Amino acid sequence: MIAMSRKTNAVTLAHIAARAGVAPITVSRALRGGTLVAKTTRERILAAAAELCYVPNLLARGLIHNRTSTIGVIIIELANPFFAPMLSSIETAAAKRDFLVMIGESGRNEERERKYVERFQQLRIAGIIVTPSTKRMDHLAALRESGTGVVVMSRRWADGDYVTSDHSVGGQLVAQHLLSRGHRRIGLISCEASMGSSFFDRIKGFHRFLASATVLIPPAWVLHTSGNRIEDGENMADAFLALRKRPSAIFALTDRLAMGFTHRLLSRGIRIPEDIAVIGYDDIPFASHNQIPLTTVKISVQRMGELAAEVLFDRIGGTREPGNRHIRLSPELVIRASCP
């Protein structure tokens, strides 16, 4: 079996030092590019390193500094077109600063989220960006206490840095649009994953604005689903079809729900928007290419990722003054065929 015992055959500073006829520490200095090494010595060292195909050991360096140039990102769902662009722009921002990104997919499971936080900490990452699964933030607070940068994304966090979209305004935009188009019988496709402040705020802003116009949503017209996939939207369409009285318009909490919903309804001969107008949320890249292009609320997700990374690296770099940064980006209504 693998004899792997301890025979590290990797090239180390000592090897280069021997070849260049200097001490290891001098090699270290030369490789890091400080000005403390004579030009000729440096050149000799660089040449030796190249010949030996030296690969620096970042673990050793990390052990000394008790930190690596790595950040962790914990995301609800990697393959979700809403979250994926965030990850992408964070990765871009990290690469620019020569940081690597470790990922964790929580699936909105708090236990898994905590597990990732713990593992990241064990690897001495410099900071993390999290889309939290629940309201409980104690593990994040604890991590931050220990000196690691922590930024919450796509949710609010009273006691720490966060970057999110103002979902309350988004919900309001939806309500406003529906009312302006004369709708009074209005339904809602809600999602159990709404524990997060994100969905909660959408609903809150939506209800509040409707209420201000004395429009109320009867409980029968609030359709509940546990998941947030296209299929869940299709199931909601079945639930909708089973209603005895139907609303004239409905607000789906996410575009994916709206897509499944519209798709299934169309296949059942329901006309959109004539029979039922539909508004989604998120403006994912495919919302405009839905069978019936979706009216929706656009969130600049990559901008969110960018900003989250910016805030995090400010923290890591130590350039940020104390005090928490609360950033809320304004969403924007995009009007398309599903509710013109």
Q: Which is nearer to DNA, 25 or 211 (CB)?
A: 25
Q: Which is nearer to its own copies, 182 or 323 (CB)?
A: 323
Q: Nearer to DNA by C-beta: 42 or 264?
A: 42
Nearer to DNA, 89 or 148 (CB): 148
Ramachandran region, residue 143 (left: φ > 0; alpha: ψ -120 to 50; beta: rest): alpha
Distance CA 200, CA 194 (A): 6
- Interface of this chain with its own copies, residues 170 to 229, rule: CB under 8 A: none
Q: Which two tokens stand for residue 284?
A: 């994912």
Residues 21 and 36: beta-carbon distance below 8 Å: no
Question: Where does 51-184 show beta strands of DSSP type E?
Answer: 70-75, 100-105, 127-130, 149-153, 161-165
Output DSSP code: residue 295: B
Which CB atom, from 146 or from 226, has the smaller least distance to DNA?
Answer: 146
Minimum distance, C-beta of residue 181 to its own copies, in the bound complex (Å): 22
> Which tokens go with 84?
């994926």
Start-to-end CA distance of the chain, whole Å, equals 68
* Distance from C-alpha of 76 to C-alpha of 73, rounded to nearest angstrom: 10
- Which residue type occupies 161? D
Window 40-79: residues binding DNA (CB under 7 A): 40-42, 56-57, 60-61, 63-66
Residue 211, H or E segment: helix 197-212
What DSSP designation does 221 have?
A: G
Binding to its own copies by residue 91, rule CB under 8 A? yes
Which stretch in 24-32, 97-105, 246-254, 307-315 sits in contact with DNA by CB under 7 A? 24-32
46 makes contact with its own copies (CB under 8 A): no
Pairing of strands 296-298, 332-334: antiparallel
Give the containing element (helix H, strand E) for 43. Answer: helix 39-51
Per-residue x/- track, 282-321, its own copies (CB under 8 A): ---xx-xxxxxx------------------------x---
38 binds its own copies (CB under 8 A): no
In whole angstroms, give the CA distance from residue 234 to residue 96: 41
Whichever of 31 and 335 has its CB closer to DNA, that residue is: 31
Tell me which H or E stretch contains 278: strand 277-279
What is the x/- site pattern for DNA, positions 278-317, by CB under 7 A?
Answer: ----------------------------------------
Q: What angle do CA 187, 192, 198 make, to 5 degrees?
A: 85
* Shortest reach from residue 319's CB to DNA, in Å: 19
Within 121-180, the residues that bind its own copies by CB under 8 A are 121-124, 146
- Residues paired with residue 152 on neighbouring β-strands, in sequence order: 130, 162
**Is residue 3 a contact point for DNA (CB under 7 A)?**
yes
Binding site for DNA (CB under 7 A): 3-6, 8, 10, 12-14, 21-26, 28-29, 31-32, 35-38, 40-42, 56-57, 60-61, 63-66
Binding site for its own copies (CB under 8 A): 1-2, 6, 8, 10, 55-60, 62-64, 66, 68, 70, 77-79, 81, 84-85, 87-88, 91-92, 95, 100-105, 112, 118-124, 146, 230, 259-260, 263, 285-286, 288-293, 318
